[in-house]
């Protein structure tokens, strides 16, 4: 496949404080250069015999392909980010307030990140993360860094080639000029498209019948609040014997012998029971306890979810 050139999107002669010479050099040499590299690498990959090529040749080309592709995409976004009056539209201002607290706060972070990159190189990218339906400023010291699944909507190029012709080493003046020229209408269009991307489908463990589980955060909060919870570690015996930790405040009971110990529990206080990962052992034990007349729930994600939130554990004596 050959990657086509995208014509320059902003009108260079309308930009405030960024010269034609700078924009043309940037577009032709750096954007054009990335695209030419990308096509050359793609052609090389196309003719490579992967069965006999050494791993370092394959990896080297794939690495260069990633860098050239991201450089191409980010440069297209960069030029498409310019040509406006630098004032966020109402929609974008509302989104920035929602996700950063205020437009000034967003701008302060974005500009501070750019200043942090001046003298070096990289990108500052405003990116939409569908998972959380929110915008975030992303730091990228190389073309190849990007947020997996994020949708970039605004890009500021902090490679020296983006400003040295006009500004020399004065990156701050360049950042100011960039911010003055942001085309927020175009950003809004991209933001609208990005907002339509559905978050990835939630990764939830399949429910065990219609049994309700309780999240680890909720259990942790209940214990912290001093609620009378009967907290039962129902990991299978072979699991407990080869792991060294037990959750603070939990009592281990053998899930295979639930009928023997269910009668020892109080029928008034709620029971939270968990296994290793929150699949069938915890659920089956919770069902057995409910059948015995107890107010029992299983803890979603089990012992491993508890550890993942940094919940307290103690050595298994």
- Which stretches of the chain bind Fe ion, using CB under 5 A? 30, 157, 159, 162
Cross-strand bridge partners of residue 152:
127
* Least spacing, CB of residue 135 vs Fe ion, in Å: 22
Distance of alpha carbon 129 from alpha carbon 150, whole angstroms: 4
Place of tokens 């020399």: 168
What tokens were used for 75?
A: 């440069």
For Fe ion, the closer of residues 3 and 159 by Cβ is 159
DSSP-assigned letter for residue 26: I
Distance of alpha carbon 232 from alpha carbon 254, whole angstroms: 10
Q: How many residues does the chain have?
A: 317
* Least spacing, CB of residue 210 vs Fe ion, in Å: 56
Q: In 10 A of CB 165, how many CB atoms?
A: 16
* Least spacing, CB of residue 27 vs Fe ion, in Å: 9
For Fe ion, the closer of residues 159 and 239 by Cβ is 159
For Fe ion, the closer of residues 39 and 121 by Cβ is 121
For Fe ion, the closer of residues 99 and 157 by Cβ is 157
* Least spacing, CB of residue 29 vs Fe ion, in Å: 9
Closest CA relative to residue 216, chosen from 202, 229, 199, 198: 229
For Fe ion, the closer of residues 27 and 184 by Cβ is 27
For Fe ion, the closer of residues 34 and 135 by Cβ is 34
Residue 190: alpha-carbon gap to chain centroid: 19
* Least spacing, CB of residue 166 vs Fe ion, in Å: 13
Helix (H, G, I), strand (E, B) or coil at 92: helix
* Least spacing, CB of residue 177 vs Fe ion, in Å: 15
Helix 171-180, helix 103-117: angle, nearest 10? 140
């Amino acid at each position: 496949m050959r990657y086509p050139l995208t014509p320059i999107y902003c009108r260079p002669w309308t930009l405030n404080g960024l010269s034609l010479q700078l924009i043309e050099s940037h577009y032709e040499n750096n954007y054009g250069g990335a695209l030419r590299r990308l096509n050359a690498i793609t052609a090389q990959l196309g003719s490579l015999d992967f069965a006999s090529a050494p791993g370092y040749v394959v990896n080297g080309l794939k690495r260069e392909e990633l860098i050239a592709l991201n450089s191409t995409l980010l440069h297209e976004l960069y030029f498409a980010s310019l040509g406006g009056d630098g004032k966020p539209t109402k929609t974008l201002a509302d989104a920035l307030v929602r996700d950063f607290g205020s437009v000034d706060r967003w701008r302060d972070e974005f500009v501070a990140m750019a200043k942090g990159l001046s003298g070096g190189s990289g990108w500052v990218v405003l990116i939409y993360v569908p998972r959380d339906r929110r915008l975030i400023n992303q730091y990228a010291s190389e073309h190849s860094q990007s947020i997996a699944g994020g949708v970039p909507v605004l890009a500021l190029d902090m490679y020296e080639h983006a400003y040295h012709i006009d500004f020399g080493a004065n990156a701050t003046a360049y950042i100011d000029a960039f911010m003055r020229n942001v085309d927020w209408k175009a950003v809004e269009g991209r933001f609208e498209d990005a907002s339509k991307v559905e978050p990835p489908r939630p990764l939830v463990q399949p429910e065990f019948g219609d049994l309700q589980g309780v999240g680890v955060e909720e259990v942790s909060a209940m214990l912290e609040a001093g609620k009378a919870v009967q907290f039962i570690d129902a990991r299978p015996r072979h699991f407990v014997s080869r792991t060294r930790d037990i959750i603070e405040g939990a009592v281990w009971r053998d899930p295979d012998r639930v009928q023997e110990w269910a009668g020892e529990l109080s029928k008034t206080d709620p029971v939270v029971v968990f296994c290793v990962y929150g699949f069938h052992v915890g659920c089956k034990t919770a069902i057995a306890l409910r059948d015995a007349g107890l107010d029992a729930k299983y803890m979603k994600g089990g012992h491993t979810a508890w550890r993942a939130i940094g919940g307290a554990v103690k050595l298994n004596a």
